[in-house]
Amino acid sequence: MKIRDITLTPIRHPAPHQLRWGKNVWNDMGGVIVQVYTDEGLVGLGDACAPIRLVRPLFEGIVKPLLVGENPLDVERLWEKMARGVTGPGAHADLIGGLDVALWDIVGKAANLPLYRLFGAYRDRVTAYAAPCSRQPEVILEELAGYPERGFKAVKLRLGLGPAGLADGPRDMKKDQAIVRGARELLGPNFIIGADADKTYDHGLAYQMASLVNELDLAWFEEPLGSNLPREVYVRDMLRLREIIRVPLSGGQNLHGPASFDGLLNTNAVDIIQPDMNHVGGLTAMRKVGHMAEGRNIACMPHVSCHLGSDIITMATAHALGAMPNGLWLCYQAYDTPLRTELLVEQPKLVDGDIVFTDRPGLGIELNQEVLKRYTVDG
């Protein structure tokens, strides 16, 4: 079997409302659909995630020539070949991640096995947590009230309203505290609740939130510290936080490649490691990080970028969790657009709050090509 061709297709659709995560604002949802074609008729799907203007030059100039003509089943070798060909974070890693997912989709289809089973099948369903965006307390609490009816058993709250300019000053914590306390009162003691500060806090703000996070027994406290810290500083500061946070501390979503996780894992700076499917470099790298964490008795709960419109990366992440003994919950973006409800021939369904795997091979999903054309944008 040989790779015959590879295409990148940027897609976009207006978000149902303005989406905010930390200090980032999104008015659209979308992605870059990867399709890897073989000479035997199998097609692998992925999503390169990063803006097409960034990934297109890397793809056309470097990566595509490296892969066309190769055997798509040689995933480990091709991952190394791509990693040596393009280096650096951001679009480099996101492109490799999307292509790697597509290659594994082909492997599963060639073996006629769903990927979670090809990887070793630890569980046949994964509990999903709803991941709404950052909103004012009264708005998000009204939204949360509908989640149990939709079958959800878990949710992740977005904090950092003060630093994001949505409160009475950058150090105002009253709205964050109202969201966390209101969610626990609304959803009850048995509902799984995590909180994500989206890298907006410093130590002072994290310290203010610590007592409430501990009191309300949150399932995890995610990425509290500011972004763009040097890796060594990030690890040091997360270790300092562990002295005051009594619930599981999680992080690592912005790290690229398995080797970059050594600092967090070797020092036990987190209780839950959170590689992102695209940032880390795809399923090949994601599974390695999961194994690294398992060897240190650290849980793995991958990050999923919630601005992506389709469920391709969500399903790839689900399959990785399906074969991880130390895997936790699946991030499930809360808002539907036609990119979720129409782009796939059959949309993955939640059953009692879980993604339940089918026997369909690979990722278990198929693109509707007519819908893909409808939502394709220039790039």
The model's pTM is 0.96
Q: What is the mean pLDDT of the chain?
A: 95
Does residue 84 register a pLDDT over 90? no
Measured CA angle at 263 (ends 246, 223), to 5 deg: 45
Amino acid at 3: I
Q: pLDDT digits over 212-255, tens only?
A: 999 999 999 999 987 677 888 889 999 999 989 999 999 999 99
- Pick from 284, 280, 332: which is nearest to 311 by CA? 332
Size (the chain), residues: 379
Does residue 114 register a pLDDT over 90? yes
Handedness of CA 184, 186, 187, 190 (dihedral sign): positive
Contact 213, 247 (CB under 8 A): yes
Domain with CATH 3.20.20.120 in the chain: 116-356
Q: Is 138 helix (H, G, I), strand (E, B) or coil?
A: helix
Contact 64, 95 (CB under 8 A): no
The token duo for 103 is 């290659």
The token duo for 176 is 């964050």
Domain with CATH 3.30.390.10 in the chain: 3-112+369-374
Q: What is the pLDDT of residue 251?
A: 95
Mean pLDDT score, 338-349: 94
Q: CA-to-CA distance for 70 and 81, rounded, in angstroms?
A: 11
Q: CA-to-CA distance for 300 and 318, rounded, in angstroms?
A: 12
Provide the CA 227 distance to its chain's centre, in angstroms.
17
Q: What is the pLDDT of residue 68?
A: 98
Q: CA-to-CA distance for 370 and 97, rounded, in angstroms?
A: 25
- Return the number of other C-beta atoms located less than 10 Å from residue 254's C-beta: 22
Mean pLDDT score, 326-339: 96
Q: What is the pLDDT of residue 228?
A: 73
Region of 282 (left: φ > 0; alpha: ψ -120 to 50; beta: rest) is: left
Alpha-carbon dihedral 8, 13, 14, 18, rounded to 10 degrees = -50
Q: pLDDT digits over 149-197, tens only?
A: 999 999 999 999 999 999 999 999 999 999 999 999 999 999 999 999 9
pLDDT > 90 in the chain, percent: 88
Q: pLDDT digits over 302-331, tens only?
A: 999 988 889 999 999 999 999 999 999 999
- Pick from 141, 158, 66, 72: which is nearest to 108 by CA? 72
DSSP codes joined into one string, 229-261: --HHHHHHHHHHHHTT--SPEEE-TT--SGGGG
Mean pLDDT score, 48-69: 94
Does residue 91 register a pLDDT over 90? no
Contact 323, 116 (CB under 8 A): yes
Q: What is the CATH number of domain 3-112+369-374?
A: 3.30.390.10
- Pick from 187, 162, 198: which is nearest to 26 by CA? 198
- Identify the band that residue 22 occupies on the pLDDT scale cut at 50, 70 and 90: confident
Region of 297 (left: φ > 0; alpha: ψ -120 to 50; beta: rest) is: left
- Pick from 143, 184, 177, 182: which is nearest to 161 by CA? 177
DSSP3 helix / strand / coil % (the chain, rounded to 5): 40, 25, 40
Look-up: residue for tokens 């130390």?
A: 326
Give me the CATH topology for the region 116-356. TIM Barrel (3.20.20)
Q: CA-to-CA distance for 262 and 292, rounded, in angstroms?
A: 9
Q: What is the pLDDT of residue 227?
A: 65
Q: CA-to-CA distance for 175 and 161, rounded, in angstroms?
A: 7
| Integer-rounded Cα radius of gyration of the chain | 20
Does residue 88 register a pLDDT over 70? no
